[in-house]
Amino acid sequence: MKTIKWEGVMPAVTTKFTKDDALDLSMFATNIKAQLDAGVHGIVLGGTLGEASTLLKSEKKTLIETTVELVNNKVPVLMNVAEQSTKAAILAAEAAEQQGANGLMLLPPMRYTACSKETVAYISEVAKSTSLPLLIYNNPVDYKIEITLEMFDELLKHDNIQAVKESTRDITNVTRMINQFGDRLKIMTGVDTLALESLIMGANGWIAGLVCAFPKETVAIYELQKAGRIQEAIALYRWFMPLLELDINAKLVQNIKLAEVYTEIGTEFVRPPRLPLFGAERTKVQHIIETALKSRPTLPNY
């Protein structure tokens, strides 16, 4: 059975575009290098931050193959699968495996709000179609479908369903999952503003957003809490919080891409119908970023 280490910080990376709406592989490589240099533990492609719903199949193929080459086996590369039908999800999973992905992040069905039985059937069919390890994205706040403990109990009959991206916003769910499944289900927290709390309560890792612009700070929080240096982790987390809140916002893609501009590892170009931030909203986000940069802490050794 294939497996990967479900631990540490795994950036849900943004997809870099040129001003002409093509993939910007040069800036993409710059960002991936910054992530690896900071010590991240995996790369997640084509998620919400990666503007998944706007990517062509050919672009997803290019992103996987480029990332696998850049990473060079240092960390696992995961591809997000977010489709409207079981058939399309199976095809996407098979394609990602052929293109060199090491694992998959799987969302429940898109658009159609499936019931519990339909959701379990959907995930099960995708799991059976691939030998890759699966991380199930549990985000009922944004995607309207919750994968309950009872549903996971059934899903974990598939050996390659190994982890959950826990984004219910209910911090007690981490404890419930550990109590029910022990080490069988690895927990990756998926909400930046609850990350440290989740890690302290036993989550194995953090699929992060603001890491795209601030990789060293994000990894430092994870490593400090892992080493038991909780007060140092908390101090850094408090500095980070105004930035982390940019991730729990409808314009998280634009917010984080603007932050990447400030830290010189990204551009603002997004794929229409998205547009870069403008007006008062842009001014507000710029103020948050600039204020944080003025007080950017010196990171401790860990």
Distances (CA, A) of 177 to 24, 149, 157, 184, 231: 39, 7, 16, 10, 26
Predicted pLDDT at 201 = 98
Predicted pLDDT at 1 = 78
Angle at alpha carbon of residue 166, lines to 161 and 170, rounded to 5°: 140
Q: How sure is the predictor about 282, in pLDDT bands with cuts at 50, 70 and 90?
A: very high
Class for the domain spanning 8-294: alpha beta
Average pLDDT score over the chain: 97
Three-class SS state of 115? coil
CA nearest neighbour of 213 among 234, 227, 192: 192
DSSP 109: P
Q: For the chain, how many residues are written?
A: 302
CA nearest neighbour of 119 among 93, 154, 80, 158: 154
CA nearest neighbour of 35 among 210, 196, 236: 210
Predicted pLDDT at 302 = 84
Q: Could you report the per-residue pLDDT of 74-126, keeping only the tens digit for each?
A: 999 999 999 999 999 999 999 999 999 999 999 999 989 999 999 999 999 99
Q: Could you report the per-residue pLDDT of 148-190, keeping only the tens digit for each?
A: 999 999 999 999 999 999 999 999 999 999 999 999 999 999 9
Q: Could you report the per-residue pLDDT of 260-276, keeping only the tens digit for each?
A: 999 999 999 999 999 99
Q: How sure is the predictor about 42, in pLDDT bands with cuts at 50, 70 and 90?
A: very high
Predicted pLDDT at 142 = 87
Per domain, the residue ranges of the chain are: 8-294
